[in-house]
Amino acid sequence: MLHRVLALLTAVVILCGPVLMAQAPSGTKAFDPKAVDPETAIKAAAAAAKAAAAAAANWTPPRTTWGDPDLQGYWLTATYTPLQRPPELAGKAFYTEEEALAAFKKAVESDAEVDPRTVHYDWKEYGMDAWQSPVRPNRRTSLIFNPENGRLPALTPEAQKRQADGRAAARARNPQVGVQTLNNWYTRCITGNNAGPMTRGGNPGSDSAAGAAGVTAEAQIFQAPGYAVLIMQSNSDARIIPLDGRPHLPSNVRNWLGDSRGHWEGNTLVVETTNFIAPGTNFLGGTARTKLTERFSLAGPNTLRYEFTLDDPATWTQPWSAETLIPRIDPPLYEFACHEQNYGLMNVVKGAQTREAEAEAKKK
């Protein structure tokens, strides 16, 4: 029933299409004059998106030369929709169209306050303001739709103890050598955003690196006969997904990005990933017992519908699911530099460990 409802809402959910698909190198292209005023840009994009949605009513999803649904392209996974429903919106699964535009406008204007003369990581790489990128408003008040309250399920007693122990360990040690540095795979550049859901809720930088979109939020889907490949710009993670019905690897064979197997259900690619290396997906405290199930399908020529379900009985009291619509972007994926060859992080940790050792030696 939920999928049928979402299909009917597509024309409304995709309120704002791209204003500027990709920004040319500095000095080579003038900005669209609409970009001067976020409100004008949002209204123009909303009108264009509605027209595109109407045109997509009779649209037929493309297929590859070998007959599979063609999901290939470059996609922007960032969103202003939070993973969990804010407490003040309890019981409200969807905004009205006007409310969705107002919420989007508020987030856009917050981003637009960034001084473009300030050199820093620009999470969109299209321009300093979110309304210059293909990020779209969403009628959903949270990405999570199951449970119906739009919130994460309760943690299991095991997970509560695990997280409490982690916080205690962090307080007991120098933060430079504690869990924030050593046990976060994203921070250590071992994995990016492909050891877990493709979309995590919130614009990059709005949460911890493990829980939000990180610095980058671009992805590429590539297909070949019998395979699909999901490449995230973050850490240049590439997940190769066999589609030939082969079983998962034995449970004692584990990968940083897990072991993915996919199949087609109509025009939807369904991917199940297991066999993560402990402690797990590095997403919201999940463990190696996590099973990630993802569903990819086209909702229009420039829109990817993405749904995921996380099932980890060692962390949550029930499985939970989220969904969003992801806009297409222009190529390419840009280079991802993680701590500039890790020298900075390595030296910080080494220096802090040396100081710890010196302090221990003085006690003896």
Name the DSSP class of 206: S
Query: Which is more confident, 236 or 151?
Result: 151
Which residues are within 8 A (CB) of 185 and not within 5 positions of it... i.e. 6 or more apart? 191, 195, 256, 282
| CA gap 204, 215 in Å, rounded | 6
The per-type count for the chain, helices as H runs and strands as E runs, is 6, 10
Per-residue pLDDT tens for 270-301? 999 999 987 766 678 888 899 999 999 999 99
More confident residue, 258 or 206: 258
pLDDT band at 172 (very low <50, low <70, confident <90, very high): confident
Residues forming beta bridges with residue 327, ordered by sequence position: 303
Model pTM score: 0.80
Q: Is omega for the bond preceding 332 within 30 degrees of 0, making it cis?
A: yes
In angstroms, what CA-CA distances link 297 with 83, 274, 307, 326?
A: 20, 21, 9, 10
The residue assigned the tokens 């190198």 is 25
DSSP string for 257-323: T-EEEEEEETTEEEEEEE-BPTT-SSSTT--TT-EEEEEEEEEETTEEEEEEEEE-TTTBSS-EEEE
- Map out the domains of the chain as residue ranges: 1-59+94-139, 70-91+151-364
Of 193 and 26, the structure prediction assigns the larger pLDDT to 193
Encoded tokens for 201? 């809720």
pLDDT value of position 293: 98
The predicted pLDDT at position 140 comes to: 93
Tens digit of each residue's pLDDT (9 = 90 or more) over 73-86? 999 888 888 899 99
Check pLDDT > 80 for residue 23: no
| 198 CB burial (10 A radius; 0-12, 13-18, 19+) | buried
Q: pLDDT value at position 354? A: 87
Mean pLDDT of the chain: 77
Q: What is the 3-state secondary structure (H, E, C) of 76-99?
A: ECCCCCCCCCCHHHCCCCECCHHH
- Cβ atoms of 200 and 83 within 8 Å: the answer is yes
Choose from 20-24, 226-230, 343-347 the range with maximum mean pLDDT: 226-230
Out of 40-54, 128-142, 270-284, which region has the weakest mean confidence (pLDDT)? 40-54
Give the Cα separation of 218 and 22 in Å (integer). Answer: 12
Residue type for 110, please?
S
Burial class (CB in 10 A: 0-12, 13-18, 19+), 53: buried
